[in-house]
């Protein structure tokens, strides 16, 4: 992945493993590159000011978590313990390399302008792609970083001129926290098992034309609950 300047990792929300993987990718990229890295998360832009204060140690974790997004009734897996762990890892990296890492939040809290979410995400991501960054790393749900679509758009297809390298994740079994219906009570632990055996974890590149360029294969994924259940 070192040769790609713009990487979009598409996750299943609400797992332990994917935020950890993304944090490891960011850490590796900061160590391998001499110039700025831009990191973008599919979290509400309304949290950005609090995030900046938290990253700079101007507020503590309790004040950061007092922002309304963390206690939303709609807990779709993005406001998880693992996501907070990722933010804390990014904070540590930022403090070690203050000139090499910028973190941006690129989602809406509530969609009130009737624009497709894919367009809103793409607009916010593209603002930073035009900046002076050597590498850009984006974490979204894997619906938003799909490519090779025929009759619809995703954030990745809208950003195709920037040549995103798009990855999803795969696992034969495990659990994740996500919403499977229209009510807040539909946001819960989901368990699955495809009865397959995976002997090795790691990156897989797809040879044929698919919705992503490749995938990171896990043996198993584990749900991460909301920080504020």
- The predicted-structure confidence for 103-120, as pLDDT tens digits, reads as follows 999 998 665 567 789 999
pLDDT value of position 224 = 98
Q: How far apart are CA 8 and CA 40, in angstroms?
A: 9
pLDDT in tens, 116-175: 899 999 999 999 998 889 999 999 999 999 999 988 899 999 999 999 999 999 999 999
Judge residue 24's burial from the number of C-beta atoms within 10 Å of its C-beta, 0-12 exposed, 13-18 middle, 19 or more buried: exposed
pLDDT at 18 over 90: yes
Strand, helix or coil at 17?
A: helix
Distance CA 151, CA 135 (A): 30
The pLDDT value given to residue 111: 58
DSSP symbols for 113-173: S---HHHHHHHHHHHHHTSS-SEEEEEEETTTT--S-SS---HHHHTGGG--EEEEEE-SE
Tell me what pLDDT residue 195 has: 87
Collapsing DSSP to helix, strand or coil, 40 comes out as: strand
């Amino acid at each position: 992945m070192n040769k790609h300047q713009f990487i979009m990792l598409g996750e299943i929300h609400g797992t332990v493993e994917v935020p950890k993987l993304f944090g490891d990718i960011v850490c590796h990229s900061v160590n391998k590159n001499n110039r700025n890295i831009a990191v973008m998360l599919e979290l509400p832009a309304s949290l950005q000011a609090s995030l900046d204060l938290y990253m700079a140690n101007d507020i503590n974790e309790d004040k950061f978590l007092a922002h309304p997004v963390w206690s939303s009734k709609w807990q779709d897996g993005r406001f998880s313990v693992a996501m907070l762990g990722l933010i804390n890892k990014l904070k540590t990296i930022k403090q070690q390399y203050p000139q090499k890492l910028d973190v941006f939040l690129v989602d809406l809290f509530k969609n009130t302008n009737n624009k497709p979410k894919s367009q809103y995400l793409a607009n916010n991501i593209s603002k930073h792609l035009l900046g002076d960054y050597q590498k850009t790393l984006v974490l979204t749900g894997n619906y938003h970083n799909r490519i090779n679509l025929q009759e619809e758009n995703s954030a990745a297809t809208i950003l195709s001129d920037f040549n995103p390298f798009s990855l999803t994740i795969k696992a034969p079994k495990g659990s994740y926290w996500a919403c499977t219906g229209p009510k807040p009570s539909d946001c819960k632990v989901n368990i699955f098992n495809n009865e397959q055996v995976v002997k090795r974890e790691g990156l897989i590149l797809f040879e044929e034309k698919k919705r992503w360029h490749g995938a990171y294969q896990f043996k198993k994924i584990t749900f991460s609950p909301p920080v504020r259940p």
